[in-house]
Amino acid sequence: MDEKVKQAIFNQIEKEPYARSLGLKLLQLQEGCAKVEMRFTGELENIFGMAHGGAIFSLMDTAFEVASNSHGTMAVALNMNINYLASPENGALLTAEAREIHRTRRTATYDIRATDDTGKLLATCQALVYRLDKPLPFLTEDKG
């Protein structure tokens, strides 16, 4: 993968306000694949004291966002179909891995899995992006 694209995406995720508010951290990035982690804390609980589905979704969506934009051109989500399977223990380190399974000039499909630090599968997701014919805007911004 292009090193300029890789570094730019890492920088953007570190700066993204929403990702920062949830403690999302990009761990690995390769073309079409990404790994993101997040600590499950009390602030991410639902009314039952379990992990809020939105928190798990956000973790998976960030891995999807990064993997689908790893080619250096903009990709925007069209659909995400998520299945929640289990809830993690409070304090668990959660990981989402997104993997590109099919790509055309205009669309791409991803398999995304979220697990906890014991390896327990928390959620699975199939996702689809529309690939724009535009470079990532933060690659062309003038930094001077």
Q: Tell me the per-residue pLDDT of 74-103, one tens digit each, with 9 for 90 and over.
A: 999 999 999 999 999 999 999 999 999 999
pLDDT confidence of residue 144: 45
Portion of the chain with pLDDT greater than 90, in percent: 96
Best CA proximity match to 112, nearest among 94, 96, 133: 96
Q: Domain tally for the chain?
A: 1
Best CA proximity match to 68, nearest among 127, 137, 113: 127
Query: Which CATH number fits the domain that encloses residue 88?
Result: 3.10.129.10
**Is the pLDDT score of 51 beyond 50?**
yes
What one-letter code names the amino acid at 111? D
Mean pLDDT over residues 24-39, rounded?
98
Domain residues for 82?
3-140
Three-state secondary structure call for residue 88:
coil
* Band (141; pLDDT cuts 50, 70, 90): low
- What residues have CB less than 8 Å from 15, skipping those under 6 apart? none
Q: What would the 3-class secondary structure string for 13-45 be? A: HHHCHHHHHHCCEEEEEECCEEEEEEECCHHHE
Q: Check residue 75 and report its DSSP letter.
A: E
Q: Check residue 70 and report its DSSP letter.
A: T
